[in-house]
Amino acid sequence: MKEFSAVGKRIPKTDAPDKVTGRATYGQDFKLPGMLHGAIRYSDHAHARILNIDTSKAEALEGVKCVVTADDVPETRFGFYKDNMPLKKDVVRSHRDEIAGVVAVNEMIARQAVKLIKIEYEILPAVFNVADAMAENAPLIQPNRDSNHLITNTYNHGDVEQGEAESDVVVEVTCKLPYVNHASMETCVIVAKFDHSQNLTLWSTTQIPFLLQKDLGAALGMSPKNIRILQPTIGGAFGRELDIYPYHPIAAIMAKKAQVPVRLCFSREEEFRAGPQRQPVEVTIRAGAKNNGDLTFRDVSMTLDVGAYVSWGSTTPMVMMETTASFYRVPHVRFKADCVYTNNLITGAMRGYGNPQSSFYVESAMDMLAEKLGMDPIQFRIQNANQPNTITEQGLKITSCGLEDCLKALAERAETKLEPAAQPHLKRGRGVGGTLNVGGGARIYRSDGCGATVKVDDFGHVSLITGSTEIGQGSETVLAQMVAEILSVPVDDVRVINSDTDVKMWDVGVHASRTTFIAGNAACLAAKEALGQIFETASELLGASPDSLKAENGQIIAPDGKSVSLSKVVRSRHFRSGGQMVFGQAFYDPPTELVDKDSYHGNISPAYGFGMQMADVEVDTETGQVRVLKLICAKDIGRAINPMAVEGQIEGGAQMGLGYALSEEVVIKEGKVMNPNFVDYRLFTSADMPEIENIMIESNDPEGPFGAKGIGEMGSSCVAAAVTNAIYDAVGVRLTQPPMTPERVLAALDTKAAG
């Protein structure tokens, strides 16, 4: 294999020094001359009719520039189901509903003024769970609908009844997965500015700059072509910014009325209250296998509370159905998901999408089957593992596939038995859990493409202008490594430009573990085109054919050993009569398809990633506390463009997954968040983290850039599954409701003891 100069190297993230020393300009640091500050007034009730809004006291407060309400915006609706509006006029449907906004000289006065807005309500009956929302005579949450039932997603392959008949063992388990929050270090922030021609410029922490242009145009009743979006350094997003939310148009409405730039920045409480959450799910899985260990069927049905307005949470069944249908080889599968409106929080995209949920129930059932069969859980999975170059029943074209290698790596580690605990009330156990994740995007939009331009200047400096977005995942570094590899220049000579919709070419957004793969392929194509131009001019200078040249350490070298520097080639091409610059452009859209809208069959990703984790835990049977001793992560990543960055993704994902497994939950009481702060919402801390071992399986994907596949989401998806299986191994109780808190563990132990 060719030795790479930049790809595969452990390079610290190029933006890391500025971030850790506070030099990076985050959205929250961003200021414009004359900028004022906005604050939002939310609903005081989960469901109520607005009778009157009195803004006079707020307007009279010194320092207030203006107050905005629904009267300041044309009656527009946005969202997939056109069920949301920027500011609510007649009815509020949840505690997150925005009613008015204040623009003032500083954030404090704006927030003070918001409290002075007097709203009279007529309180309406509300529903806070799926059963109540689906009851006869339940209050209707959205107008113009017959019921609160939003949609049913169904999927089938094979014949589940036949599968069950063929089964020697059958298991069933019902799991309840919680709300959790993205908990990005930086809260949502936006600065909006109109120029005199009514062009809107938005500085936003969005993950979807181009789709936001379109959605925002619809929400504001203006043309997307008059909207430009700029992205400052983003302090984490994890899916939170994958959709338009009311605060985006509200910032624009404020800036328009105030006629100056306006900044809107969420408090942590607003982040919990008004931002999206991970989709909670109540799910029952039935699954079977034959005595020889072959899987026979899976039958899954679930309900999803999507809150009062629809965002991406309602599409998580697409991902859960993919895992249900295609993770391990199952001949007969049936899947049904019902999405229902309630007066609760909204649900959105979050790292792993539906996979932390589906991995939990699928892998719980896998361990239950293995136990009934008396098989080793890892060997049972190896027997049923997906294989390279196969097409699943759902139509996923699995090309590279390292699942079996991941499992074998864990089996090898499992040969070292757990040391017994120090005291009799401490019990140790070991469990595995895995995930199937799209490895290079997901065609959920008509295009899953990304554009790139590579230009080389007269000094040999390279700019990659990419459509993709950096949200802390490290894309700037790995994209620079790929371009540097192709052009044979040092990584430091490549700068990645990715923050302006007027400059960069289209990209669908940062999601679905797609940036390394899709933006990487686009960058490589553009770099190759630039290299072609360099070779063309170099061939004149070196008197050798372009095909015979090679690039090495910033030099273009002919077969006879003569060489010329890359920058000299660029200058020679540029500074001549009829001169040309060196620049390559490409748009990469993967060879995938939208799923069929009824059957949900189709190949949505050009590659699929697989990951397994093995958790060693210690359960305190007196207190119910679970300590994770070690987490071994074996991931099929195609190829590590930057092993250090891969480790960062896996370890960061592990932290998020451990929080999902053991400590994090957004607690909601009658639609109101009870723990909207970082004291009561319990993120997994560094003091709780176990030792982590990373095993990278390089399956070298045929379509991926340098063989790479996406790794952004996988790290967080299968932790909870591994932990619940490990707890079962330790103390013989099956926890079905993350987070597996001491109280839940203890209650399960007590139930077991009571027989």
Partner 1 sequence: MLRLPPFEYHAPKSIAEAVALKAEYGELAMYVAGGTDLFPNMKRQQFTPQNLIGLRKIPELFQLVFDQDGTGLTLGAGVSLNEVAEHPDILKNYPALAKAASLVSAPQLRNMGTIGGNLCLDTRCTYYNQSYQWRKALGFCLKKSGDTCWVARSSPKCLAVSSSDCAPVMVALEAEFCLASPAGEAVKTRIVPASEFYKNDGANFLNKTADELLVSIRLPTYYSGKSGIGWKMNYRKLSRRNAIDFPLLGVATAFRQKDNGDCAEARIVLGAVGSSPLRADEAEKILQDGSLTLERIEDAVQAAAKLAKPLDNTDMTLSYRKKMASRFITEAFNEVLKV
Within 10 angstroms of residue 13's Cβ, the number of other Cβ atoms is: 21
By beta-carbon proximity to partner 1, the closer residue of 106 and 545 is: 106
Q: How large is the angle between the packed helices 520-542 and 566-574, nearest 10 degrees?
A: 80
Our finding on whether 265 is near partner 1 (CB under 8 A) is yes
Query: Which range, of 264-272, 334-342, 558-566, 713-721, touches partner 1 by CB under 8 A?
Result: 264-272
Compute the least distance from the CB of residue 96 to partner 1, in Å.
Answer: 12
Which residues make Cβ contacts (< 8 Å) with residue 682, sequence separation at least 6? 659, 663, 664, 665
Which residues make Cβ contacts (< 8 Å) with residue 534, sequence separation at least 6? 456, 487, 551, 556, 566, 569, 570, 573, 582
518 contacts 448 by C-beta, under 8 angstroms: yes
Q: Residue 600 class from Cβ within 10 Å (0-12 exposed, 13-18 middle, 19+ buried)?
A: buried
Query: Which range, of 4-12, 263-271, 349-357, 358-366, touches partner 1 by CB under 8 A?
Result: 263-271
Site string for partner 1, 648-667 (x = CB under 8 A): ---------------x----
476 contacts 455 by C-beta, under 8 angstroms: no
Our finding on whether 28 is near partner 1 (CB under 8 A) is yes
Q: What letter represents residue 629's amino acid?
A: L
By beta-carbon proximity to partner 1, the closer residue of 90 and 269 is: 269
- SS3 label, residue 621: coil
Site string for partner 1, 455-484 (x = CB under 8 A): ------------------------------
**What are the structure tokens assigned to 739, written together?**
């987070």
**What are the structure tokens assigned to 159, written together?**
């014949």
611 contacts 718 by C-beta, under 8 angstroms: yes
Within 10 angstroms of residue 670's Cβ, the number of other Cβ atoms is: 12
Site string for partner 1, 160-199 (x = CB under 8 A): ---------------------------x------------
Our finding on whether 682 is near partner 1 (CB under 8 A) is yes
One residue of 331, 490, 554, 742 binding partner 1 per CB under 8 A: 742
Q: How many helices (H) and strands (E) does the chain have?
A: 19, 32
Which residues make Cβ contacts (< 8 Å) with residue 676, sequence separation at least 6? 268, 269, 271, 272, 273
Pairing of strands 397-398, 118-123: unpaired
One residue of 269, 492, 560, 691 binding partner 1 per CB under 8 A: 269
By beta-carbon proximity to partner 1, the closer residue of 27 and 440 is: 27
By beta-carbon proximity to partner 1, the closer residue of 423 and 545 is: 423
Cα Rg, the chain, nearest whole Å: 27
One residue of 256, 672, 736, 748 binding partner 1 per CB under 8 A: 672
| Near partner 1 in 201-260, by CB under 8 A | none
| Near partner 1 in 32-71, by CB under 8 A | 42, 44
One residue of 267, 379, 463, 737 binding partner 1 per CB under 8 A: 267
Element of type H or E holding 200: strand 200-204
Query: Which range, of 244-252, 547-555, 677-685, 717-725, touches partner 1 by CB under 8 A?
Result: 677-685
Our finding on whether 688 is near partner 1 (CB under 8 A) is yes
Provide the strand spans (E) within 261-359.
262-265, 277-278, 281-289, 295-307, 332-341, 347-348
Query: Which range, of 143-151, 231-239, 328-336, 680-688, touches partner 1 by CB under 8 A?
Result: 680-688
Our finding on whether 687 is near partner 1 (CB under 8 A) is yes
Query: Which range, of 445-453, 478-486, 684-692, 694-702, touches partner 1 by CB under 8 A?
Result: 684-692
- SS3 label, residue 201: strand
By beta-carbon proximity to partner 1, the closer residue of 288 and 739 is: 739
Which residues make Cβ contacts (< 8 Å) with residue 94, sequence separation at least 6? 43, 46, 47, 307, 308, 309, 343, 344, 345, 346, 671
**What are the structure tokens assigned to 426, written together?**
């401490």
One residue of 198, 599, 685, 751 binding partner 1 per CB under 8 A: 685
Within 10 angstroms of residue 197's Cβ, the number of other Cβ atoms is: 6
By beta-carbon proximity to partner 1, the closer residue of 54 and 622 is: 622
Our finding on whether 25 is near partner 1 (CB under 8 A) is no
Q: How many residues bind partner 1 (CB under 8 A)?
A: 37
Our finding on whether 680 is near partner 1 (CB under 8 A) is yes
Query: Which range, of 244-252, 515-523, 683-691, 730-738, touches partner 1 by CB under 8 A?
Result: 683-691
By beta-carbon proximity to partner 1, the closer residue of 596 and 743 is: 743
**What are the structure tokens assigned to 246, written together?**
């009311």
Compute the least distance from the CB of residue 737 to partner 1, in Å.
Answer: 13
Closest alpha carbon to 40 in 78, 86, 92: 86
Q: How large is the angle between the packed helices 520-542 and 475-487, nearest 10 degrees?
A: 30
Compute the least distance from the CB of residue 725 to partner 1, in Å.
Answer: 22
Query: Which range, of 175-183, 255-263, 674-682, 714-722, touches partner 1 by CB under 8 A?
Result: 674-682
By beta-carbon proximity to partner 1, the closer residue of 154 and 625 is: 625
CA distance 499 to 15: 14
Tokens 């408090």 sit on residue: 267
Compute the least distance from the CB of residue 44 to partner 1, in Å.
Answer: 5
Compute the least distance from the CB of residue 123 to partner 1, in Å.
Answer: 12
DSSP class of 516: I
One residue of 1, 185, 422, 679 binding partner 1 per CB under 8 A: 679
By beta-carbon proximity to partner 1, the closer residue of 1 and 687 is: 687
| Near partner 1 in 101-140, by CB under 8 A | 107-108, 111, 115
Query: Which range, of 19-27, 395-403, 442-450, 746-754, touches partner 1 by CB under 8 A?
Result: 746-754
Pairing of strands 626-636, 608-620: antiparallel
Q: Residue 438 class from Cβ within 10 Å (0-12 exposed, 13-18 middle, 19+ buried)?
A: buried
| Near partner 1 in 607-626, by CB under 8 A | 622-624
- SS3 label, residue 424: coil
By beta-carbon proximity to partner 1, the closer residue of 643 and 742 is: 742
Tell me how many degrees the CA angle 375-376-381 measures, rounded to the nearest 5.
95
Asked if omega into 590 is within 30° of 0 (cis), the reply is no
One residue of 9, 19, 214, 268 binding partner 1 per CB under 8 A: 268
Which residues lie near partner 1 (CB under 8 A)?
28, 42, 44, 95, 107-108, 111, 115, 187, 265-269, 622-624, 663, 672, 674, 676-680, 682, 684-688, 741-743, 746-747, 750
